[in-house]
Amino acid sequence: MPPCTGAEPLESHRPRVIVTTDGEEDDRCSMVRFLLTANDFEVEAIINSSSQFHWVGGKGWNVFHPASWVKDYIGFYSEVYNNLRLHDPNYPTPDYLLSNWKVGNISASGEDEIRTEGAEWIVKILLDDSDSRPIWVQAWGGCNTIARALKIIQEDHPSRMKEVAAKLRLFLIWEQDDSYQKYIRPNWEHVNIPTIISDQFDCMAYIWRKVLPNATKTYFEADWMKTHILTGKGPLCAAYEHKEWAFNAEGDTPAFLHAIPNGLRSVESPGWGGWGGRYVKTRNNVWMDPDPIEGWKHADGQRSIHNSWSKKLENASDPKMQAIRTQYFKPIWRWLDAVQNDFAARADWCVKDYASANHPPIVILKNTPLDLEAERGKEITLDASASSDPDRDRLTFRWWHYAEAGTYSGGELPESNAPKATITIPKDAQPGDEIHMVCEVKDVGSPPLTRYQRVVIHVKDH
């Protein structure tokens, strides 16, 4: 069993999540990683849905993978479950996951009229007034089962719409059918449900070879994947669908990476950035990708493959456009070495005992609030010296200024590679500016694992 660390129990930090999936091959790859990450979430539901790409009756590439694939993958998970629990007792039981697996609206692209078991299950969760904590509902495929659930609430419980909206969070991997525009946007968007509609995810999908920086590609190529994920890691990892041993695609993974409690606090605002990307508000409480080029405008209607900036940039041959493309995907790829090493460690947990595997460091700040106020010109100390590692590995530290996440526009503040960092609030900062300082702590285990704490400094006047 893991040693007692004295840290606050994980239970208090685990986000509630609902996954809806159209079962494409990259969804199935994402599901392997999701199940290995299930200890960090309260998994409320896994629900089959359809999309504009895959539905029951679809032909050729549009064929719908039988809904039972989810049950199959939970079966693979059950074979490594006891070993996973050696590393974290928060892994949910296979029976629990099976009891929360339901089939939603799958009969056609965008079909949201049938009251399916999956839609009714989402309704039950959203209407449960015994728990008001946020629920992250992820659309790995279309939004139609989510739309059907929200329709049921509007039709049967209209007085509770605002209550539901207050705890609902949406993360959409594109809008993979028309149900968001057709129903959710006109009926729910005005009540300010935090909604991320991601295009950045595509750098973890089928085009990764074209768009990732060369140093990052190492973690996706055949040698790395075969060694760390695909061989000798048990039946769940063996089910991972590769392309000649290399990474194929996990386009849906950013939807849950965004909510993983790694210390980056990304769930506090889509604009803060984290493993699932960084986004800008476009209308109401809807967040999309930062503009790659000044003058490019977000689509007012459905955001999908036909008008994706990712697809517009995918085959860029001009060096200037390639540089723009690299910058466009940076909100995700900047973290991918840590993301992949995290995946590799969890693959080890499937087959190794606790002493033989690596586990992430615990980043603890000392006399350093997560949110603090400071005057211009003031010197402040940020202290992560109380951090520890459950395997007693040596730790390295990096305090760095996440400039894109804040509002201070005067350039990046200096980095520090010590547990304690002293910074001076710039004199040209404006009252009300936010400065985001990230403490990145990495162990020297194999694979090396990274966790964080983010300190948000609010600049005030004298």
Q: Is residue 299 part of a domain?
A: no
The verdict on residue 308 lying in a domain is no
How many folded domains does the chain comprise?
Answer: 2
pLDDT value of position 2: 38
Q: Is 165 among the domain residues?
A: yes
Same domain, 273 and 384: no
Two tokens, residue 43: 């998994």
- Domain endpoint, select from 238, 268, 288: 288
d(CA 333, CA 435): 22
Q: Are residues 283 and 365 in the same domain?
A: no
Instruction: Measure the CA–CA gap between 164 and 124, rounded to whole angstroms.
Output: 11
Residue 350 domain-assigned? no
| Residue at 305 is within a domain | no
**Are 379 and 274 in the same domain?**
no
Does 270 map to a domain?
A: yes
Domain shared by 273 and 366, yes or no: no
pLDDT tens, residue by residue, 335-350: 999 999 999 999 999 9
Q: How confident is the model at residue 58 (pLDDT cuts 50, 70, 90)?
A: very high
Are both 76 and 167 inside the same structural domain?
yes
Asked whether the predicted pLDDT for residue 333 surpasses 80, the reply is yes
Residue 88, domain CATH: 3.90.245.10
On whether both 216 and 98 belong to a single domain, the answer is: yes
Q: Both tokens of residue 96?
A: 């629990």
Say whether pTM exceeds 0.75: yes
More reliable by pLDDT, 83 or 6: 83
Q: Quick one: which of 235, 194, 307 has its CA closest to 84?
A: 235
- Answer with the residue of higher pLDDT: 248 or 5: 248
Same domain, 81 and 213: yes
Express each pLDDT in 37-54 by its tens digit.
999 999 999 999 999 999
Give me the domain span that covers residue 253: 10-288
How many Å apart are CA 404 and CA 258, to the nearest integer?
17
Q: Give φ, ψ of 279 to 5 degrees.
A: -135, 165
CATH number at residue 397: 2.60.40.10
| 283 and 367 both lie in a single domain | no
For residue 15, being part of any structural domain is answered with yes
State which of 260, 288, 316 marks the end of a domain.
Answer: 288
Distances (CA, A) of 442 to 341, 362, 451: 11, 10, 7
In a domain, 33, yes or no: yes
Task: Indicate the residue among 256, 288, 320 that finishes a domain.
Answer: 288
